[in-house]
Amino acid sequence: MSTASAQLPEGRYGRSADERADRKLKIVGGVLGVALIGLVGWFGYDYVAGAEISAQVITFEAVSDSAVEVHLEVHKNAGTKGYCTLRSQSADGAEVGRADFRFDQHSSRLDKVVTLRTTARGSTAELLGCHSG
């Protein structure tokens, strides 16, 4: 007496469900892998190339009811031109002054004391950001 084989004849009924699922998983994994590599590359490029000008407020002092002196330290690529935006607020939080200060010098590091004109006595000096251009 012989026993019948439990396997289906090869090639007669197409691919099994497991083979189709494996193929779909490989395709999805490949697409997600390429997308992840692209995303990491884009963030890396933006981090390296995007930061042309950075600055920080070292100190500030309200010298009168209409001016705040701000000591600003700027780091940039040599030859890059740009500007930084500063603002001052009064003790109650109202904005009393805002101005852009240009930096066209060719050096890569600048220490500069700038005077921000205000409409009332300023109690803060805040760097809003720097941009090239």
Q: Over its length of 133 residues, how does the chain's per-residue pLDDT go in tens digits? A: 555 666 766 666 666 667 777 888 899 999 999 999 999 988 887 766 665 788 999 999 999 999 999 999 999 888 888 899 999 999 999 999 999 999 888 888 999 999 999 999 999 999 999 888 7
Enter the pTM of the model.
Answer: 0.61
Torsion, Cα 55 56 59 64, to 10 degrees, reads 60
Q: How many whole angstroms separate alpha carbon 94 and alpha carbon 116?
A: 15
Could you tell me which residues come within 8 angstroms of residue 65 by beta carbon, excluding any fewer than 6 positions away? Answer: 118, 120, 121
